[in-house]
Structure 1
């Protein structure tokens, strides 16, 4: 009885499975190498180019919007005005969180009386004090944009840029593969025209 395991049938060493051929592969076509490089370029674009492009776009959009915020904050200021009308149906017919357009009156820095239409919150009635915004000329304007708006714009620009980079990268990779496949099919067809007569025996007739 053999206590040393199964006997080797072929020689003194068991055959070992060869690893993948690391040398030049004769079956590897030039189009295969080009496709491999396209895949590497595609992955580099996703790993390196996508974050860089998205962050750059987000930073640029955020900076631009913050300049708008600072300009609006510098050119607008809040004042206290008096509501000149009551919402239709009474103050309790409008939710306190629901804004509505109403006439307001206020006294300007020059002592003159002004009036206009502003957006106010619900739950108010004629004579209540409301906060409105005016520009340097004293005209009613909307409140200045907030830094949170700038952050939202930055995030949106970054996400949109990331989606655009992914779309363009996928489209370029698909187009490159389509062109390479077209060349492969053309070469296969040309080679088949040479090989098929001999393979099918039509040349021996």
Structure 2
């Protein structure tokens, strides 16, 4: 196809460059987009997996008892407000004995009810460690983003080459017409 187009009398160098660029972009799209997606997914998954393992090693869950009814003043912000509030809880630590702290608890909990609280190695309340589904979701999301970004860069580069080729083609046609036009229209002869 490309060799046939090159032989035509109206085919310009810019046409050939544009055609070969389209082939190169198609090959690059088929090779680099999946490769970028897979490599980024593996890399971000490994990173997220290591962070999740570190969190699991540092955090532990304790069973605590709610000491007071959660108040609206301690309500969390945003969409969490309906589902969790802050209340004073008490639990027994094997090394430090009975401890109390303010922690996130479900909004509907009453004093005396048991709740689970996540603590870090220093005994501070923290969020639960990241689960496996979130790790996979993060890895796949970042891989998809990398693949899409790679495709976008390739397509934008192809568009830029096509614009330059079109501009060159129009310039070549203009020069050729400036030479040939007077012969056809009998102007200036």
- Residues 1:85 and 2:71 are matched in the alignment: no
CA–CA separation in structure 1 for the residues paired with 2:112 and 2:84 = 17
Matched pairs, number = 177
Bigger relative contact order (CA 8 A; separation at least 6): 2
Q: Are 2:182 and 1:197 equivalent residues in the alignment?
A: yes
Of 158, 168, 172, 1:187 maps to: 172
Gaps of 5+ in 1: 1-20, 90-96
Match of 1:98 in 2: 83
Ranges in structure 2 where 5+ consecutive residues have no aligned partner: 73-81
Cα distance between partner residues in 1 of 2:60 and 2:52? 13
2-structure distance, mates of 1:159, 1:55: 9
Q: Secondary structure at the match of 1:141?
A: coil
Aligned to 1:178: 163
Matches within 5 A, 1:41-190: 41-88=24-71, 98-190=83-175
Structure of greater Rg: 1
Q: Distance in 2 between matches of 1:114 and 1:130?
A: 14
TM-score by length of 1: 0.78
Match status 1:39 vs 2:31:
no
In angstroms, what is the RMSD of aligned CA positions? Answer: 2.1
Distance 2:187 2:17 in 1: 37
Q: With the length of structure 2 as denominator, give the TM-score of the two structures.
A: 0.84
Cα offset, 1:126, TM superposition? 0.7
More helix by share: 2
Contact between 1:54 and 1:161, CA under 8 Å: does it hold in 2? yes
Structure 2 equivalent of residue 10 of structure 1: none
